[in-house]
């Protein structure tokens, strides 16, 4: 996308919404900004209707700030809490149905490659645990088997939050939730391991309690999906509303879970992806020195 | 591959010299797609559709399409087709019977997202018990999804309707999906003479910027609203937005009428429309009806034939006018529920004129004698 498309027609400056004017003058398009620049630019998300203390909302904000190429990124979402937020994001995004996000992204990515063979067009799937590990697992895994060049980001809030707190495949074992009145009978699905086995060239788990690292992970995942193969990022962001935690305690809960070893930061990079990322680093250093 | 020349749709449909070839309905699908300038096709097998998408795969290998792959299920294929269409390319797929139902959530989604997808439905019975036999019951389910629906009588229709479907679907004032239906096996697996345009001609490419909704390519400004109007909870504005959007899809169907008339030569065809008794049918039931009408006329009975080509939009006014002067409308169907008779009853002024018989299903054939019996009854 040309950044010039965002210009406001002369004479209309005073009638444009303030946030749009801000986006034109101070948005992140084409500026190679990241997490450490937050606060210095107009973010891609204006405001959102998610609950107070929602770690998923924070994760999304961090993801959007980490996109290496927001001016040419299309997001595919799915049904869930995140889909309430997507309409307010300043990159094009698709909400199709529940669970079919990776299939939609497959068609979209292939279409964009046909139409723009000489241009980078990143396609990132951002969906909750219900859409990714339960209803949509078939389509998620099949997109990895086919080596589709898309990034899949799971917002793991450990519950079907938007429909009122039902057990998901990512809920902790024993958690008493709607539709699991006696507690969940089986452990969290080990999707990172499945992703690696299914052919992802880059797999990482991270949480919004580690913002800089989250930024790096998302960036690497999207870069790997450009050329090497599918990538998967799992972001641990448990739901305060359904687990009935005070809003202000969510990040602390995440940190506690990390300390207890229940949530682990992990990264898997295939040898090809490793070489590719190293090559990009060299190019970046060279560019910076010039 | 043959180097293809882009020609105007009108030239390809009406003027280019046609070659007559002996082929199956599945091969007619291949011939249509060869000339449709399709960018991407996505396939998933289900009898009796599979062969048609095998053949589309063959012409992809020959270079007629830019992209082709097998998805993981019908639902996933219809989702991938949606993603491709949102990304601004011309896409095609096909399915049948149980596949249609497995994919079902996507059809109203296609229409709601204003995607000009063309899908061939090569109809088949629905389980249970398991059947692969011909039956048009899946059409009953699809009538209210918002997609346009054309029903082919034979392989010639299938070829023509698929090609024309792209042009109707992609009109800016329409821009909704088209399902082209043909009765499985009866059309897909039988051979007949089909007149096709030269294979070195093709339709003009799809222009994604002709869409009335933004293409998802980040080449236009992302307004702070996703592609599909989204319904936030407890928000009066969103109720109003959703309701008006649904009305807009219906309006797009209505606006399609003029294009269907232009390219299909009308929403219906008639033979002896002035007759006192009319056999009204769609799909292969038209062929059985034609046989019965010919036999009845040999007996001196005043009978005519109405072939419905478009079911969405439905030829409401045309049927109402025909029903006004007729004494009876006989509606033979290849399904149990009699959805076509229901549709016709919903538009004619005197529903007692509509005879919802004969009806066969589960793969049974329909002897024209059954229709002839109904005609004779009208004169008894």
Which chain B residues have a beta carbon less than 8 Å from that of A72? 218
- A147: pLDDT strictly greater than 60: yes
Mean pLDDT estimate for chain A: 94
Distance CA B152, CA B123 (A): 11
* Site from A20, A101, A104 to mutate, B interface, most B CB atoms within 10 angstroms: A104
Asked if residues A163 and A123 have their Cβ atoms less than 8 Å apart, the reply is no
A89 vs B contacts (CB less than 8 Å): 222, 224
Question: Can you give the C-alpha Rg of chain B in angstroms?
Answer: 21
User: Range(s) for CATH 3.40.50.920 in chain B?
Assistant: 268-378
Task: Quick: pLDDT tens for A68-95.
Answer: 999 999 999 999 999 888 888 889 999 8
Whether A103 and B83 lie within 8 Å, measured CB to CB: yes
Reported ipTM: the value is: 0.96
* pLDDT score for A7: 82
Nearest residue, CB atoms, A115 vs list B69, B79, B89 = B89
- pLDDT tens for each residue of A250-270: 999 999 999 998 899 999 999
Q: How many angstroms separate the CA of residue A258 from the nearest CA in chain B?
A: 34
pLDDT tens profile A111-142: 999 999 999 999 999 999 999 999 999 999 99
Cα nearest neighbour of B86 on chain A: A108
* Tokens linked to B203: 């339709």
| Distance in Å, alpha carbon of A255 to nearest chain B alpha carbon | 32
Helix segments in chain B, DSSP class H: 9-10, 25-34, 50-61, 74-86, 97-102, 106-112, 137-142, 155-169, 236-264, 285-298, 316-325, 339-345, 368-379
**Structure tokens given for A9:** 């027609």
Render pLDDT for B109-128 as a digit per residue (tens, 0 to 9): 999 999 999 999 999 999 99
Query: CB B221 to CB A84 under 8 A?
Result: no
CATH 3.40.50.970 domain position(s) in chain B: 5-209
Subunit contact B72:A1, Cβ cutoff 8 A:
no
B-chain residues within 8 Å CB-CB of A110? 40, 67, 69, 84, 87
Q: Average pLDDT of chain B?
A: 95
Residue B229 above 50 pLDDT? no
Domains in chain A, CATH or no CATH each:
50-289 (3.40.50.970)
Distance CA A136, CA A154 (A): 11
Q: Which CATH number fits domain B5-209: 3.40.50.970, 3.10.105.10, 3.40.50.300, 3.20.20.140?
A: 3.40.50.970
CB contact under 8 A, A83 and B230: yes
**What percentage of chain A exceeds 70 in pLDDT?**
99
Q: Which residues of A touch B230 (CB under 8 A)?
A: 83, 86-87, 95
pLDDT at B278 over 60: yes
Angstroms from A72 CA to nearest CA on chain B = 5
Residue B222 reports pLDDT greater than 80: no
Are residues B224 and A46, on separate chains, in Cβ contact within 8 Å? yes
The alpha carbons of chain A give a radius of gyration, in whole angstroms, of: 19
- Nearest Cα of chain A lies from the Cα of B22 at a distance, in angstroms, of 35
CB contact under 8 A, A87 and B220: no
Q: Is the pLDDT of residue A275 over 90?
A: yes
**What's the CATH code, domain B268-378?**
3.40.50.920
List C-alpha distances in Å: B164 to B22, B264, B265: 21, 8, 11
Tokens coding B61: 């290998």
Tens of pLDDT along A175-226?
999 999 999 999 999 999 999 999 999 999 999 999 999 999 999 999 999 9
Please say whether the beta carbons of A85 and A49 come within 8 A.
Answer: yes
Q: What are phi and psi of A30, to 5 degrees?
A: 65, 20
**Exposure string over A258-290, b if 16+ CB within 10 A, otherwise e:** beeeebeeebbbbeebeebbeebeeeeeeeeee
Alpha-carbon distance A84 to nearest alpha carbon in chain B (angstroms)? 7
- With beta carbons under 8 A apart, name residues in chain B contacting A111: 39-40, 83-89, 91
DSSP codes joined into one string, chain A = --GGGGPPPTT-GGGS-HHHHHHHHH--TTS---GGGTTSS--SB----PPTT-HHHHHHHHHHHH-S-GGGEEEEE-SSHHHHHGGGBSS-EEE--SS-HHHHHHHHHHHHHHH-TTS--EEEEEEEHIIIIITTHHHHHHHHHTT-S-EEEEEE-SSBTTTTSB--TTSPTT--BBTBTT---SPPP-HHHHHHHHT-SEEEEE-TTSHHHHHHHHHHHHHHHHHT--EEEEEE---HHHHT--GGGHHHHHHHHHHTTSS--EEEE-HHHHHHHHHHHHHHHHHHH-
Measured between CA atoms, the residue of chain A closest to residue B105 is: A97
The pLDDT of B186-201, averaged and rounded, is: 98
B24-69 per-position pLDDT tens digit: 999 999 999 999 999 999 999 999 999 999 999 999 999 999 999 9
A95:B226 CB<8 A: yes
Query: pTM to 2 decimals?
Result: 0.96
The answer to whether the CB of A68 falls within 8 A of the CB of A219 is yes
What confidence score (pLDDT) does residue B235 get? 66
Q: Determine the pLDDT at residue B224.
A: 54
Which residues lie below 8 Å from residue B360, measured CB to CB, with a gap of 6+? B333, B334, B366, B370
pLDDT of the residue at A262: 86
The minimum CA-CA distance between A145 and chain B, rounded to whole Å, is 10
Q: Do A87 and B227 touch (CB under 8 A)?
A: no
Residue A278, pLDDT > 90, answer: yes
Task: Take residue B177 and report the two structure tokens written for it.
Answer: 């999906």
């Amino acid at each position: 996308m040309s950044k010039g498309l965002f210009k406001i027609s002369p004479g209309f400056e005073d009638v444009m919404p303030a946030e749009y004017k801000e986006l034109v003058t101070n948005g992140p398009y084409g500026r190679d900004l990241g997490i450490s620049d937050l606060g210095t630019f107009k973010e891609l998300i204006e405001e959102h209707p998610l609950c107070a203390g929602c770690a998923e909302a924070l994760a999304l904000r961090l993801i959007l700030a980490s996109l290496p190429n927001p001016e040419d990124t299309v997001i595919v979402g799915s049904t869930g809490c995140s889909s309430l937020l997507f309409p307010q994001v300043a990159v094009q995004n698709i909400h199709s149905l529940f669970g079919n996000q990776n299939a939609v992204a497959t068609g979209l990515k292939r279409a964009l490659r046909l139409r723009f063979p000489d241009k980078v067009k990143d396609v990132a799937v951002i969906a909750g645990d219900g859409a990714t590990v339960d209803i949509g697992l078939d389509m998620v895994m099949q997109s990895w088997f086919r080596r589709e060049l898309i990034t899949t980001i799971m917002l793991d809030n450990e519950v079907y939050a938007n429909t009122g707190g039902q057990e998901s495949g990512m809920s902790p074992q024993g958690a008493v939730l709607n539709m699991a009145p006696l507690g969940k009978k089986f452990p969290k699905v080990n999707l990172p391991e499945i992703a690696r086995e299914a052919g992802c060239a880059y797999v990482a788990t991270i949480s919004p309690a580690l913002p800089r690292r989250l930024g790096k992970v998302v960036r690497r995942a999207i870069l790997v999906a450009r050329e090497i193969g599918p990538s998967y990022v799992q972001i641990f962001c448990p739901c305060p509303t359904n687990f009935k935690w005070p809003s202000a305690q969510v990040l602390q809960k995440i940190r506690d879970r990390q300390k207890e070893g229940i949530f682990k930061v992990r990264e898997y990079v295939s040898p090809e992806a490793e070489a590719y990322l190293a090559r990009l680093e060299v190019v970046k250093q060279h560019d910076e020195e010039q | 591959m043959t180097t293809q020349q882009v020609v105007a749709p009108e030239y390809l449909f009406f003027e280019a010299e046609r070659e007559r070839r002996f082929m199956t309905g599945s091969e007619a699908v291949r011939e249509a797609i060869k000339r449709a300038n399709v960018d991407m096709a996505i396939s998933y097998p289900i009898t009796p559709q599979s062969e048609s998408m095998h053949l589309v795969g063959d012409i992809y290998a020959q270079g007629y399409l830019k992209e082709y792959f097998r998805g993981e299920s019908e639902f996933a294929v219809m989702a991938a087709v949606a993603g491709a269409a949102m990304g601004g390319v011309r896409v095609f797929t096909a399915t049948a019977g149980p596949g249609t139902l497995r994919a079902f959530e996507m059809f109203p989604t296609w229409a709601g997202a204003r995607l000009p997808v063309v899908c061939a439905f090569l109809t088949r019975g629905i389980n249970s018990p398991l059947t692969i036999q011909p039956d048009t019951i899946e059409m009953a389910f699809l009538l209210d999804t918002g997609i346009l629906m054309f029903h082919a009588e034979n392989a010639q229709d299938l070829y023509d309707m698929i090609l024309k479907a792209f042009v109707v679907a992609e009109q800016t004032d329409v821009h909704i999906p088209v399902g082209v239906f043909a009765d499985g096996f009866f059309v897909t697996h039988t051979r007949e003479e089909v007149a096709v345009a030269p294979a070195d001609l093709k339709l003009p490419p799809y222009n994604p910027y002709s869409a009335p909704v933004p293409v998802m390519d980040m080449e236009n400004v992302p307004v702070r609203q996703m592609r599909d109007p989204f319904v936030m909870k407890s928000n009066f504005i969103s109720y109003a937005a959703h309701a008006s959007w649904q009305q807009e899809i219906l309006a797009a169907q209505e606006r399609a009428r003029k294009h269907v008339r232009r390219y299909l030569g009308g929403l219906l065809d008639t033979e002896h429309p002035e007759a006192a008794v009319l056999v009204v049918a769609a799909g292969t039931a038209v062929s059985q009806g034609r046989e019965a009408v010919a036999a009845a006329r040999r007996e001196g009975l005043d009978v005519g034939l109405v072939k419905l080509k478009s079911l969405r939009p439905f030829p409401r006014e045309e049927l109402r006018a025909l029903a006004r002067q007729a004494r009876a409308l006989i509606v033979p169907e290849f399904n149990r529920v009699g959805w076509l008779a229901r549709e016709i009853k919903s538009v004619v002024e005197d529903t007692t004129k509509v005879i919802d018989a004969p009806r066969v299903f589960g793969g049974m054939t329909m002897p024209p004698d059954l229709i002839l019996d109904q005609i004779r009854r009208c004169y008894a």
